Amino acid sequence: MADDQKNVIHVEILGQQYSIRSTLDSSYVSDVASYVQEMMRTVSDRSPAADSVRVAVLAALNIADEYCRCRDGLAADEDAVRQRTLEIEAVVDQAITPVATPTESD
């Protein structure tokens, strides 16, 4: 099967069936759909009177918050790794710099 050929994956979210066309692995798409289902179920349980659009928007906000926190955390981790790498590089540079040895005439 060609990489650009789309598969149709059938998922259910809050009792609604969806046919997802994607080039991604079907198990990955199913996992993503399960995560969305879980988030929407959590919101729905907290706000039982909310309509499905409100539940979807609140779930999307929760997912976006998680994404932004992860993205920001990765950026902070990259900055820390970059700083530590510079520190290690300075130590290595200092260690490999030749030490001046006294000459015989000294």
Extract the tokens encoding 88. Answer: 């290690």
pLDDT band with cut points at 50, 70 and 90 for residue 105: low
Give tens-digit pLDDT for 9-49: 999 999 999 999 999 999 999 999 999 999 999 999 998 88
- Do 6 and 21 touch, CB atoms closer than 8 A? yes
- Do 21 and 7 touch, CB atoms closer than 8 A? yes
Phi then psi dihedrals of residue 98, to 5 deg: -60, 140
- Do 54 and 47 touch, CB atoms closer than 8 A? yes
